[in-house]
Amino acid sequence: MKKGFGKGFLAGILCCVMLFVIVSCGKGNENESRLTKKQTTPTPVTVQEGTPTPTPTPASSLSDVEYAGKLKQISEILDKYYYQPIDYNNIVDGIYHGMVSAVGDPYTVYYNAQEMETFLQSSAGSYAGLGASVRIGDSKYPVLTRVFPGSPAEKAGLLAEDTVIEVDGEDVYNVPLDIVVTKVRGPIGSHLELTVYREGEPEYLHFDVIRDTVELPTVEHQMLANQIGYISVLEFDEVTAQQFNDAVDDLTRQNMRALIVDLRSNPGGSLSTVKSMLSRILPKGKLLVYMEDKYGQKEEHFSNTDETVDVPIAVLMNGNSASASEVFGGCLQDYGKAILVGTQSFGKGIVQTILPLGDGSGIKVTISSYFTPNGRNIHKKGLTPDVEVELKDELKKLTTIPIEDDNQIQKAIEELKKKI
């Protein structure tokens, strides 16, 4: 490995240019012991008697000489002793991934060029892959939170709350969520092999999923009885703001008297999108959200349109509603503009930005905490609903729940009818 690697690597990071700010999520509550990563018995290391035990020097920063020298030493050992040929492109890629992962934040992630391209495609709202929302469970394996109707996932027989153990034969224990997503996506028509744990099944299940283009139906709307509008928002992608605004306009033309915004299992997305959506509801000049970095510097965002929605609003949330969903719900709750109905939200109150490294790769890095207008930071806490109601157990794994059977929607309707 080249001696100047450390210096060049640091220079690459320092030369990053910010592209855009995003809000994302990851979480879980699956704690089955069988999903715990298998432990292997370590091979004993023989130490010559009298050999002093080395004491690591605490590192406050990376030193070109010391750390580049150690990388060179490791490279030489591998070259000499490892029993098979070594692909140093993979080694270097692993160094980048490992360095970023070692900060201990699951939302701070390194992307190689291929992963970066896939990530940027997914944020645009169209991709070729599985057709499901995913979070990381307490078991540190990915868990499907929603399977989209008509998606490759549904056609293959996958269900919400399935836990993914392997992707194409590769164990995905403790793999960052964004990296799991890039592994799932691929060319249209290609096959994806998934090994899945499903509660109640004695053995792991195996699925062959045929990848296809997935056009995320980020916004769906309809008018319910009593002139109550209903808008479901699945993710906050680039296309979502215009779809949401169009839905509000359509329901307004139909003389909407109240509105339900369904953010259940919405993992988040673009901050600019949620700002645009809130601007459609709240008067111009209202503080929507603010961020604060480690230096105490604040960045405030305000409503920037003259349009408003002057009807009672209920926002549906659950434990998989995260990040941008919580910006939306928390803002409206602070102003008394909406009631929150459902269960405690996930609790992700930190903001990431994408920094390109100039060679197609990049880093998504957490840069600040965000706060609701009243100064609430809900990170690892979540939003508490004004009206708490748990979805019936028999409905939780269904791909589609009829509105008349959905007890959380029916509770929201009941609360809104008191206000109209």
Closest CA to 282 of 334, 239, 210, 321: 334
- b/e sequence 294-332, b meaning 16+ C-beta within 10 Å: eeeeeeebbbeeeeebebbbbbbbbbbbbbbbbbbbbbb
The runs of H, that is alpha helices, within 15-63 are none
The single-letter code of the amino acid at 301 is H
Of the residues 270, 303, 323, 361, only one is catalytic, namely: 323
Of the residues 334, 361, 368, 406, only one is catalytic, namely: 334
Of the residues 27, 275, 286, 348, only one is catalytic, namely: 348
Determine the number of helices (DSSP H) and then strands (DSSP E) in the chain. 10, 21
Closest CA to 263 of 323, 307, 215: 323
323 is catalytic: yes
Query: Cα-flanking dihedrals φ and ψ of residue 378, to 5°?
Result: -100, 15
Q: Residue 127: how many CA atoms within 13 Å on its side-chain side?
A: 21
Closest CA to 372 of 225, 238, 266, 274: 274
CA distances for 176 relative to 73, 102, 132, 180, angstroms: 28, 12, 17, 6
364 is catalytic: no
396 is catalytic: no
Active site residues: 323, 334, 348
